[in-house]
Amino acid sequence: MTVEVNYRPGPSEASVAVEQRDPGGRPAHKPAAPAATRPTAPAAPTTPPAAAARPAPAKAAVTDDRGLSLTTTPEAARLYNQGVYNILGLRKGHYDLIAQSVVADPRFALGHAAKALMAHELCAPAIVPDELYLASLYAEKATDRERSHVNAVQSHIRGSKTALVDHVRRHPKDALLLNSIMPTILFGGAVEVPAEAWDVVERAAPAYDPDDWWFLGTLSFVRQEQLRFDEGMDLAKRSLELEPAGGHAAHSRAHCHYEMGDHVDGLKFMSDWVDGPGVGADPIDHNAWHAAVHELSLGDVAAVRRRYERQLDPAKMTGCRALVDGGQLLFRWAITPGAQPSPDMRLILDLVGHEALIHPATPFHAYHAACVLTGLEDVAGLKTLAAWAAGRRQPVFREAVAPLAEAMGDLAAHRPGLAADKLALMAPQVRRLGGSDAQREIIEEARIAALLKAERFEEAVIVLEARLSRRHAPRDVAWIEWADQQARAKQTAAA
């Protein structure tokens, strides 16, 4: 079963089909044979507002998994808790379970708020307004914490992070909203720079049980972003002992392996995990991308091609993942010496649409869009993206996205020397673009490719050697050998 959801809000909306998935499960809250409840058209509210405008009396007889009161029925709470568990664990079925919770209790404020939040994050904006309306309506008779929760979700979706951050500071055990602040696989995050999210997570730590598998995985992700890879790895392993299917811990462990240049063990872990405890992960695309990047780093292009055909064909991806994971892989693959032919970048264009590339929803999407447009040699598209970003109110668009798009425009227009210089100049802005270090590395990859195209081989080798000093990668070693060969060939030709 599929449902059409908008890829992103914007001047012209592309749309993609999102596959309905069976919910994953866990022993404590696994629902019995859940029915599909996701709407098949731009959403009407699950309960029409006019008919539902009779808030139930305040009653908080049930709780979430961390003991916070929920004003709803036991059955709706069970479905909601399973849905939140699947969100926190990156498991299939999270959206459907949340949707079922508001079918079970149409007056469940936090169920409607979670449905709105997930629709927003899954690029399905048509569903959001009605769910926000219902969440706000029923929150009037809920607890103070639930009203604050609903207000935080509303403010976040409308573009203000303040209420969300304040709410989590007052209610640190509200794990769903703490999760939504961190830019991770399912959430775009609510911070300008990673350090803001680190602070929120670290301040929340005393509220959590030392054996809370989700919080351990989240703290692990923070530690690896802080370049404290050994601590990040230990936390991830501890979390996975408690919940082997926990997607955040598995994802954080993948980043630790990658940043430590531990490609063989990292590949083995992720390959085993996606076919083992993580087989119910949602989305699987990003974890498969991690495995493919290990394979690419090892120089095993045949393995990348096999994984692409099995797990990473953009046509099989959903929503934003085609641009992010598909675009990342195809761009890196295309610039790897000796790895051609790589799949045609037009696959991404066909899936997400040109408007999503020239008017991306977030800075995170924007740098992926810039790479896809470069792969397409769409000089006009990059020029449009640069001009549009330069006129945006949000500083990160003006100060990071616009210069990036301009530099990539030079690369696409076969002015690689100019592109390399501009990419070097904007490097201090890169961390503001969102995502992980491993994802933002694609901009460094573009600079290396530009230097090589400009036949500035020594400079390319300096960048590659600096990267090798941080972490080992056979691909980078081979890239240096290739650059040296090209430099010698140039010298011979000139002699």
Q: Which two tokens stand for residue 137?
A: 């309506």
Binding-residue pattern over the window 42 to 81 for Fe ion, x denoting contact by CB under 5 A: ----------------------------------------
Of 429 and 436, the one with the shorter C-beta distance to Fe ion is: 436
Q: How far is the CB of 375 from Fe ion (least distance, A)?
A: 21
Dihedral angle, C-alpha 113, 114, 116, 122, nearest 10 °: 160
Quote the Cα angle for 191-384-323, to 5°: 55
Helix (H, G, I), strand (E, B) or coil at 48: coil
The residue (of 6 and 436) whose beta carbon lies closer to Fe ion is: 436
Q: Which distant-in-sequence residues (6+ apart) come within 8 Å of 486 by Cβ? A: 452, 455, 457
The residue (of 100 and 436) whose beta carbon lies closer to Fe ion is 436
Q: Shortest distance, CB of residue 460 to Fe ion, whole angstroms?
A: 26
Q: Which is nearer to Fe ion, 212 or 225 (CB)?
A: 225
Q: Give the residue with the Cβ less far from Fe ion, 111 or 283.
A: 283
* Cα 21 to Cα 3, 187, 248, 317, distances in angstroms: 11, 19, 20, 13
Using the minimum distance from each CB to Fe ion, give the nearer residue, 59 or 440: 440
- Rounded to the nearest whole angstrom, what is the least distance from the CB of residue 442 to Fe ion in the complex? 12
**CB of 273 vs Fe ion, minimal distance in Å:** 13
Q: With contacts defined by CB under 5 A, how many residues of the chain interact with Fe ion?
A: 1
The least distance separating Fe ion from the CB of residue 136, rounded to whole angstroms, comes to 34
Rounded-to-integer distance, Cα 425 and Cα 404, Å: 10
* Strand partners of residue 63: 69
Geometric angle at alpha carbon 288, from 452 and 2, rounded to 5°: 120
Residue with Cβ nearer Fe ion (253 or 415): 253
Q: 384-395 b/e with 16+ CB inside 10 Å = b?
A: bbbebbeeeeee
In SS3 terms, 216-252 reads as: HHHHHHHHHHCCCHHHHHHHHHHHHHHCCCCHHHHHH
Contacts of 349 (CB under 8 A, 6+ apart): 357, 372, 376
Minimal distance, residue 174 CB to Fe ion, in Å: 24
User: Would you say 295 and 303 are in contact if contact means Cβ atoms under 8 Å apart?
Assistant: yes
Q: Which is nearer to Fe ion, 403 or 435 (CB)?
A: 435
Minimum Å gap between C-beta 362 and Fe ion is 16
User: In this structure, what token pair is assigned to residue 284?
Assistant: 């699987």
Closer of 277 and 417 to Fe ion (Cβ): 277
- Report, in Å, the least distance between residue 299 CB and Fe ion: 21
Site string for Fe ion, 435-454 (x = CB under 5 A): -x------------------
Q: How many Å is the maximal CA-CA distance in the chain?
A: 89
By CB under 5 A, what part of segment 374-403 binds Fe ion?
Answer: none
Task: Indicate the helix (H) or strand (E) that contains 3.
Answer: strand 2-6
- Shortest reach from residue 290's CB to Fe ion, in Å: 6
From the list 229, 230, 254, 318, the residue with the least C-alpha distance to 246 is 254
| Nearest position to Fe ion, beta carbon | 436
Which tokens in the block code for residue 11?
A: 């001047």
Which residue's CB is nearer to Fe ion, number 268 or number 453? 268
Ranges within 409-438 binding Fe ion (CB under 5 A): 436
* Residue 453: C-alpha distances to residues 337, 404, 414 (Å): 12, 18, 8
Give min distance, CB of 121 to Fe ion, in A. Answer: 16
- In the complex with Fe ion, the residue whose CB is nearer, 257 or 475, is 257
How far apart (Å, rounded) are the C-alpha atoms in residues 410 and 403? 11
Give me the least distance between CB of 331 and Fe ion, in Å please.
16
Binding region for Fe ion (CB under 5 A): 436
